[in-house]
A and B are shown apart, each in its own frame.
Chain A
Amino acid sequence: MRFVHFDKSIKRLDYVHLSKYFFAISIALIVLGVASLSFFGLNYSVDFQSGSNVDVTVSKSISKGEIESVVKDLDIAEGTTINVGEERISIRFTKVLNEDQDVALKKEISKLDESAAFEVNTVDTEMAKELAQNAIKAVLIACLGIIIYVSIRFEWRFAIAAVISLLHDAILVIAIFSIFQLKVDLTFIVAVLTIIGYSINDTIVIFDRIRENMRFAKLKTRDDLKELVDHSIAQTIMRSIYTVLTVFIAAFFLFLLGGESIKMFSLAMTIGLVLGAYSTIFIASPLWFVLKVREKKKPAKAA
């Protein structure tokens, strides 16, 4: 069976060709992200910085000045940042509040608003760092697991392309959070893990189609291979679009309506889902093509 028999009625883009530009864009974004990470770093929430964070949900508006004077009276003002929103006041202490200060602060604020609800987080940075380190370790070992499984079920080129594509998604989400200085808390780690889970799932689906098409294909030239990749993407693109759309909408609603504490989490997920679909089509599959073409050039080594 030759590719001439492929259904021409399926509209398709020259994905492999286009991917050159997307490679360039992705590399540029990653460079930008890494630069941003090294210059500005991440806007760590209290989870990663020693100190206390007090979030107060209030039923009536309290001015910043009122909170400031409370903090000042209690003699805990040093290094304090106060953010006053409509229903939520966030007070960040660079020092860990002790129990007495904690109690005193709540008492004073409750005087301003009887129905105020509090969320207090105190952390020793070690804990958060340990969690992040363990997560990174887990991701790297998981990558190894993917490489082994995909190499057995497919071939090593798919494995490498899939892992690069998922690391691409993870790095870009982290980069975007750095560039826009969005708040990074513990749930962010979970979000990045979710993105990786989604990204690998998405990538395998397209790879599976490429593998399937390979079985009937006689590939003689580079163009044959290119056409195969383009065709495989075209065959699965509706599924990619539908899936990302449904999951995206679910994550987006969560971002819009979900609880305050998972806002950043949902945002990371929403961005990551789009990235995952993008990288599967424009990074993973073309990358496999690039690796595969190199094999074609060395026929002696081709099995």
Chain B
Amino acid sequence: MKRIVAFITVVVVVSALMGWTTPGLLKSMRLGLDLKGGFEILYEASPLEAGAKVTKESLVKTAQSLEKRANKLGTSEPEVTTEGTNRIRVKLAGVTDEAEVRKMMKEPAELTFRSKDGTEKNADEYNKIEMIGTDFAENGAALQFDNMNKPQVSIKVKSKDKFAEITKRLLGQPLAIYMNDELISAPVVQAVLTDGTASISVGGSMDEAKELRDVINLGALPLKLHEKYSQSLGATLGQQSLKSTIEAGLIGSVFILVFMVGMYRAPGLIASFALILHTWLLIAVFAWANFTLTLPGIAAIILGIGMAVDANIITNERIREELRSGKSVMSSVKAGGKHSLRTVLDSNITTIIVAIVMYIYGTGSVKGFALVLIVEIVLSIATNVYFVRFLLNLLLKAGKLMKPKYFGVKESEIRAL
């Protein structure tokens, strides 16, 4: 009697827990851009100056500035990650104007101060780069007004000495300010600037001055970016894809549950419960670990559910085999469980090995797929092997389930020992 109470308590408590938390968990589930729509760009970074190297530090710094910009664009939860030695992946959800995003992300890449080196083809050109984006202090640009009350932008540089040397050398000559390859202004150096600050006149408009200030502040990208890959998926398309995939998944799951109950009766029912718990745990891990669910992730979930169903089928077929050979229910469950455990573990461990190798050597979607698979197999062993046994044993020891027909075995199939 105690055991049946324990059984019912476990089932009720677990069900209540699942029912209570599921809506919240689903809400906090992070969906990949392929499921919710958005815009993804993969940049390849190269150094601003020829011959220099892309360092890990400069790559991370570039990624951070890109993230700042993405935030400034007002996109929700931008994801900016570095990949390998020279790549940065930017994922933005809910982008309405891609062109604008592309421009803002990449455009202010190169702020340079240039002088003439004598090889110019026309008078408005400056070929020699004196200072690059990284030479400017972060957030060092500010708006100010000159004597004529016209807006200008003051900037700070990191190295006073370097700036002093440049202004000394170019005294009386123009020092041009370039944004990418566009000449913004070319003020003539009036004095040697030793305090590490300079002012840029913009030519009147307040908006222009503000824009220049933002561009410089955001613009100190230490690396040059080249767009290598981009993908955009309309939000409605992503949602459609998610909706139909979930529908298909639900129909498939209902079929599996009906099959398990129809085939294996009481243990089938327990298996179904464990499968639901397994899926719930998976969602919980996703939400808790802040994983992003993508299409390859869904693939891994299907494979994982397949393997979890398989673990149940292996165990129950084994139990039925023992029952048919004439053993008692108690010893059939015991023997079936013992024999099937090794099978289930071996087959799951081999798949985990495959998944681990894929995680280590794979990139992008392969990695994500492998990670989900690993998590799922571990959860599957916990729920579909151990939890199922626990429940089944509670029922058996409570004296329920003592007839082979509860396991889907007909009396006529049983042979005498």
- The verdict on B177 contacting chain A, using a C-beta distance below 8 Å, is no
Q: Which residues of B contact A142 (CB under 8 A)?
A: 353-354, 357-358
Please give, as numbers and ranges, the residues of chain A lying within 8 Å of B229 by CB-CB distance.
122-124, 127
A137 touches B354 (CB 8 A): no
Judged by a CB distance under 8 angstroms, whether B263 is at the interface is yes
Q: Are A134 and B366 in contact (CB under 8 A)?
A: yes
Q: If A122-B229, A123-B229, A247-B309 touch, does A269 touch B299 (CB 8 Å cutoff)?
A: yes
Residues of B within 8 A of A102 (CB): 98-99
Instruction: Categorize the interface residue count of chain B.
Output: 35 or more
**Given known contacts A198-B303, A259-B240, A246 and B350 CB-to-CB distance under 8 angstroms:** no
**Pair B299/A265 contact, Cβ less than 8 Å:** yes
Q: What's the Cα separation between A146 and B252 when bound, in Å?
A: 30
Compute how far the CA of A196 lies from the CA of B306 in the bound complex, rounded to whole angstroms. 13
When each residue 352-372 of chain B gets 1 if its CB lies under 8 Å from chain A and 0 otherwise, what string results?
011111101111111001100
- The answer, yes or no, to whether A121 is at the interface (CB within 8 Å) is yes
CA distance A127 to B234 in the complex (A): 23
Chain B: which residue is nearest A236 at the CB level? B317
Residue A214 is within 8 A (CB to CB) of chain B in the complex: no
**A100-137 CB contacts (< 8 Å) to partner B:** 100, 102-103, 117-124, 126-127, 130-131, 134-135, 137
Given A103-B99, A201-B350, A250-B252, A194 and B300 contact (CB-CB distance below 8 Å): yes
- Residue A235 CB within 8 A of the other chain: yes
Q: A57-B234, A269-B299 are in contact. Are A208 and B365 (CB under 8 A)?
A: no
Complex: chain A residue closest to B342, CB-CB = A208
A121 and B230 alpha carbons, distance in the complex (Å):
6
Partner of B314, one of A200, A239, A257: A239
A204 proximal to B (CB < 8 A): yes
| A202-B99 Cα distance, complex, nearest whole Å | 49
| Interface-lining segment among A12-20, A60-68, A182-190 | A182-190
Interface residues of B in 319-365 (CB under 8 A from A): 321, 325, 339, 342-343, 346-351, 353-358, 360-365
A103 to B232, CA, bound (A): 12
Mark A189-225 against chain B: 1 for CB-CB distance below 8 A, else 0: 1110110111011101100110010000000000000
Inter-subunit contact B415/A197 (CB<8 Å): no
Contact yes or no, B415 A254, CB < 8 A = no
Q: Quick check: is B34 within 8 A (CB to CB) of the other chain? A: yes
Decide yes or no whether B208 CB sits under 8 A from chain A. Answer: no
Residues of A within 8 A of B202 (CB): none
Is the CB of A76 closer than 8 A to any CB of chain B?
no
> Given that A118-B232, A265-B295 are known contacts, is A249 also in contact with B346, CB under 8 Å in the complex?
no
* Contact among A134, A141, A201, A256 for B351, CB-based, below 8 A: A201
Q: Are B228 and A187 touching (Cβ within 8 A)?
A: no
Check B245 against A254 for contact (C-beta < 8 Å). Answer: yes
Q: Are B357 and A257 in contact (CB under 8 A)?
A: no
The answer to whether the Cβ of A150 comes within 8 Å of any Cβ in the partner chain is: yes
Known: A127-B228, A258-B244. A57 touches B313 (CB 8 A): no
Chain B residues whose C-beta falls within 8 Å of the C-beta of A119 in the assembled complex: 232-234, 237
Q: State in angstroms the CA–CA spacing of A64 and B94 once bound together.
A: 30
Residue on A with the closest CB to B237? Answer: A117
A21 CB-CB contact with B under 8 Å: no
Task: Decide yes or no whether A253 CB sits under 8 A from chain B.
Answer: yes
Docked-complex contact B350 and A190, CB < 8 angstroms: no
Report B-chain residues with C-beta under 8 Å of the C-beta of A204.
343, 346-347, 350
Of A57, A212, A254, the residue contacting B339 (CB under 8 A) is A212
Residues of A within 8 A of B300 (CB): 194
Stretch at the interface among B17-25, B153-161, B253-261: B253-261
Across the interface, do B309 and A243 meet the contact criterion of CB distance under 8 Å?
yes
Q: A146-B353, A201-B307 are in contact. Are A262 and B343 (CB under 8 A)?
A: no
Shortest beta-carbon distance from B89 to chain A in Å: 11
Within 8 Å of chain B (Cβ to Cβ): is A238?
yes
* A16 vs B231: C-alpha distance when bound (angstroms): 50
Asked whether A78 is an interface residue with its Cβ less than 8 Å from the other chain, the reply is no
Report yes or no: B296 in contact with A190, Cβ–Cβ below 8 A: yes
Interchain CB contact under 8 A, B240 and A254: no
> What is the size, in residues, of chain A's interface with B at 8 Å between Cβ atoms?
76
- The CA of A118 and the CA of B355, in the complex, are separated in Å by 34
Given A122-B230, A235-B321, A259-B245, A135–B98 Cβ distance below 8 Å? no
B211 at the interface (CB under 8 A from A): no
**Does chain B have a CB within 8 A of A138?**
yes
User: With contacts A103-B98, A187-B296 known, is A193 near B241, CB below 8 A?
Assistant: no
B249 at the interface (CB under 8 A from A): yes
Q: A246-B255, A259-B245 are in contact. Are A205 and B34 (CB under 8 A)?
A: no
Bound complex: CA A50 to CA B36 (Å)? 25
* Chain B residues with CB under 8 A of A189: 365-366
Closest residue of chain B to A119 (Cβ to Cβ) is B233
Give the distance to chain A from B31, nearest Cβ to Cβ, in Å: 12
Q: How far is the CA of A118 from the CA of B317 in the complex (A)?
A: 49
Measured between beta carbons, the chain B residues less than 8 angstroms from A294 are: none
Which parts of A138-185 form the interface with B (CB within 8 Å)? 138-139, 141-142, 145-146, 149-150, 153, 162
CB <8 Å contact, A131 and B296: no
Contact among B103, B314, B366, B415 with A135 in the assembled complex (CB-CB below 8 Å): B366
Please tell me which one of the listed residues B103, B230, B241 contacts residue A262 in the complex, with CB atoms under 8 A apart: B241
Contact with A along B8-45 (1 / 0, CB 8 A): 00000000000000000000000000100000001000
* Closest beta carbon of chain A to B146's beta carbon, Å: 36
Query: Does A75 reach chain B (CB closer than 8 Å)?
Result: no
- Report if A262-B302 is in contact (Cβ < 8 Å); known contacts: A118-B232, A118-B234, A149-B350: no
The answer to the question of A39 belonging to the interface, with a C-beta cut-off of 8 Å to chain B, is no
Q: Which residues of A contact B240 (CB under 8 A)?
A: 57, 259-260
A136 to B247, CA, bound (A): 32
A124 to B251, CA, bound (A): 38
A254 in contact with B248 given A119-B234, A142-B353, A194-B300 (CB within 8 Å):
yes
Q: Top 8 nearest A-B pairs by Cβ distance?
A: A259-B241, A250-B252, A247-B306, A117-B234, A257-B248, A138-B361, A204-B347, A142-B357
Given A146-B354, A201-B348, 20 more A-B residue pairs with CB atoms under 8 Å apart are A117-B237, A120-B231, A120-B232, A123-B229, A127-B228, A134-B362, A187-B295, A189-B366, A204-B346, A204-B350, A205-B314, A239-B310, A243-B313, A246-B260, A247-B310, A250-B255, A250-B302, A254-B249, A259-B242, A262-B241
13 contacts across the A-B interface (CB closer than 8 A)? A55-B237, A131-B363, A142-B354, A190-B366, A194-B300, A201-B348, A204-B350, A205-B347, A238-B317, A243-B306, A247-B305, A259-B243, A260-B241
